[in-house]
A and B are shown apart, each in its own frame.
Chain A
Amino acid sequence: MHPILESRQRLVFYLTAWLPIGVILTVILERGLSSWLEAILVAVPLTVVYAFMCLSAWYVCLAVPMRNPSLLRLLVTLFVASALSSLAWFTLGEVWVLGVEPWLELPGLSERYTAQFMPMFANGVMLYLLAAAAHYLLIILAESRTTEKRALELQVLAREAELKALRAQIDPHFLFNSLNSISALTIVDPQGARSMCILLADFLRTSLVLGARQQIPLADELRLVENFLNIEKIRYGQRLSVVRNVDPGCNTCLIPPLLIQPLVENAIRHGIAPLVEGGTLRMDLHRTGAAMEIILENPVDATRVNTQHGAGVGLENVRSRLARLFANQSAVTISSDNDTFRVRLRFPCVESGESA
């Protein structure tokens, strides 16, 4: 649909712009014709007609877009189109004056009009080119508005994805069970309740802050993991124990945020929590040169066949996040025997300042 014809407001605005053009045309024609009356009689209808004829410039603009690689082709097309329209316009004027000449008894009007060919033709070409310029402007404005809108939409989408990822990371089970522990502690150990509130607040805040970043040093993630483990220790008491073996060289390696904490959470929820006596979570983090290796190991209930199948989505998430950062240099492997479950992550250690 034509952008000017599609809205009444735009059409009125466009036609108003033609008012001064009509006046100028009248002034020009008055010099060659015999009276003001004749000039008005010819100029007014021709201006109205040409205003509509010039709308066809839109299709010319679409056919030869501004970004056309060949400037020559653009100019030739525009000049041919404007010359043809101008000629057609002049001919329409000729028909008009021939019609009104006998009717209004203005002898010689048609000869006088024909003598005005040159100024009429020049005006026609110029007006058509102006209209083309205006249409190009409209197209550019519409395009920039669409790009702006798309950029905005993309921004909103990215933000939403981030929030959704974060919401998925903070497990509702963990949150509500922790609140329940606090509720119980208020009666039996008010001081403990207070410190658990603080631990939980720290954990949530740190998750939000770290989660908003692209990459974080491994040391930051490990602090978050410790924070998380402190909360879970209050819930599970003696049933949860942790053995850590962390190579200090790992601390500066960059990783996507909230990479390890969800794995630790899974290990507790699907591995240790279903065991009556609980068990020990082992975390091994090693660095050999530029090669990082993280191993998480937890016991599982041997009587349940697919105890940790719920962890599948989480592991897929870890795999794709590592792959996005390190391409095919990263690997996530799972192994399980009768009563242990093991996740192994391997990826290159990149420190801040280097590029991945």
Chain B
Amino acid sequence: MNPLRIIVADDEDLARSLVREYLKENLDVQIVAECKNGFEAVKAVTELKPDLVLLDIQMPRLDGFEVLDLIGRETNVIFITAYDQYAIRAFEVHAVDYLLKPFSSERLTEAVDRAKKKIARGEPTAPAILSTEARPPGSRPDRILIRDGGDVHVIPMTKIDYVEAQDDYVCYRAEGKRFLKQQTLADVETSLDPSRFVRIHRSYVLNVDRLAKLELYAKDSHSAILRDGTRLPVSRSGYARLNAVIG
């Protein structure tokens, strides 16, 4: 049987060297890459397609959950953390394996063996919903992450003009550029700040800061004119929602 191909992602050199030492004797696993931050982890996962990622939650650039969101469900993960109450509660609820620093070599081997069985059965090790539940309640992400091959685009929320639904994708418009992400517009709506982003139409979510004026288009529908001149359709219910936000 081929050894399990593993990526270790942790920003501390000492923490990575510990995992390396623990796994040195284990012939069933092979560390194919070590990453010092979230960007490196996403890139390495894309290029090397490992079987398992040992993912530290606190990392520069992207934290562990952001990495999980970006690599989707194609890769299995075991989370590592020193202390993170909300995350641990979410792990317990979803039976996701995690390691608490400092951990023993036996505990790591156990977790890897369990992951191996899950992979053999074709089960994902972490559900997609985990990343929202593992954060403190009420905290909204302040940026959108979009994967483009092995690279990651970071778009601050304030830079987004509007989001448009396109088949299985959504298209974020920001600073004159378009970014595609595999997501539903309903998910986009719940992830954004409702006091700033409004679903104005079946296919559009608008940043109200960009709105220049509203024009009556036909009997029951309006058009939103943005500061840059873009014209977007506004449905009747969208018009009501928009009025509720901008007053």
Contacts A176-B102, A237-B13, A305-B158 given; does A274 touch B18 at CB 8 Å: no
* B 84-111 binary contact with A (CB < 8 Å = 1; else 0): 0000000000000000111000000000
Chain A residues whose C-beta falls within 8 Å of the C-beta of B11 in the assembled complex: 273
A234 CA / B12 CA spacing, docked (Å): 10
* B 26-43 binary contact with A (CB < 8 Å = 1; else 0): 000000000011010000
Say yes or no for A117: interface residue by CB 8 A criterion: no
Chain B min CB distance to A356 (Å): 37
Is B60 within 8 A of A276, CB to CB? yes
Most buried by B among A184, A235, A301: A184
Chain A residues whose C-beta falls within 8 Å of the C-beta of B157 in the assembled complex: 305
Chain B residues whose C-beta falls within 8 Å of the C-beta of A276 in the assembled complex: 36-37, 39, 60-61
Is B143 within 8 A of A304, CB to CB? yes
Chain B residues whose C-beta falls within 8 Å of the C-beta of A237 in the assembled complex: 13
A181 CA / B18 CA spacing, docked (Å): 8
Contacts A176-B101, A303-B154 given; does A181 touch B143 at CB 8 Å: no
A277 nearest in chain B by CB position = B60
A303 CA / B100 CA spacing, docked (Å): 29
Say yes or no for A172: interface residue by CB 8 A criterion: yes
A177 CA / B58 CA spacing, docked (Å): 11
Chain A min CB distance to B79 (Å): 14
Q: A173-B82, A175-B83 are in contact. List 15 more A-B contacts (CB 8 A).
A: A172-B82, A173-B58, A173-B83, A177-B12, A179-B101, A180-B18, A184-B15, A188-B14, A188-B17, A237-B13, A276-B60, A276-B61, A305-B142, A305-B158, A306-B142
Chain B residues whose C-beta falls within 8 Å of the C-beta of A185 in the assembled complex: 14
Please give the residue numbers on chain A whose beta carbons come within 8 Å of chain B beta carbons, in ascending order: 172-173, 175-177, 179-185, 187-188, 234-237, 273-276, 301, 303-306
Is A183 within 8 A of B154, CB to CB? no
Say yes or no for B21: interface residue by CB 8 A criterion: yes
Chain B residues whose C-beta falls within 8 Å of the C-beta of A172 in the assembled complex: 82-83
A175 CA / B83 CA spacing, docked (Å): 9
Is B18 within 8 A of A184, CB to CB? yes
Say yes or no for B156: interface residue by CB 8 A criterion: yes
- Return the contact of B14 from the options A173, A184, A273, A275 (Cβ within 8 A): A184
A305 CA / B156 CA spacing, docked (Å): 7
Chain B residues whose C-beta falls within 8 Å of the C-beta of A173 in the assembled complex: 58, 82-83
Chain A residues whose C-beta falls within 8 Å of the C-beta of B82 in the assembled complex: 172-173, 176-177, 180
Chain B residues whose C-beta falls within 8 Å of the C-beta of A273 in the assembled complex: 11, 58, 60
Chain B min CB distance to A317 (Å): 19
Chain B residues whose C-beta falls within 8 Å of the C-beta of A180 in the assembled complex: 12, 14-15, 18, 82, 101-102
B10 nearest in chain A by CB position = A180
Chain A residues whose C-beta falls within 8 Å of the C-beta of B101 in the assembled complex: 176-177, 179-180, 183
A303 nearest in chain B by CB position = B154
Is B14 within 8 A of A179, CB to CB? no
Chain A min CB distance to B152 (Å): 11
Chain B residues whose C-beta falls within 8 Å of the C-beta of A306 in the assembled complex: 142
A276 CA / B102 CA spacing, docked (Å): 23
Chain A residues whose C-beta falls within 8 Å of the C-beta of B14 in the assembled complex: 180-181, 184-185, 188, 234-235
A172 CA / B101 CA spacing, docked (Å): 11
Chain B min CB distance to A204 (Å): 16
Chain B residues whose C-beta falls within 8 Å of the C-beta of A236 in the assembled complex: 12
A-B residue pairs, 8 tightest by C-beta: A184-B18, A176-B82, A180-B101, A183-B102, A184-B14, A172-B83, A180-B102, A305-B142
Chain A residues whose C-beta falls within 8 Å of the C-beta of B21 in the assembled complex: 184, 187-188
Most buried by A among B61, B100, B101: B101
A184 CA / B59 CA spacing, docked (Å): 18
The contact sample of 22 A-B pairs, CB cut-off 8 A, is A172-B82, A173-B58, A173-B82, A173-B83, A175-B83, A176-B82, A176-B83, A176-B101, A177-B82, A177-B101, A180-B12, A180-B14, A181-B14, A183-B102, A184-B15, A188-B17, A234-B14, A235-B14, A276-B37, A276-B39, A303-B156, A305-B156
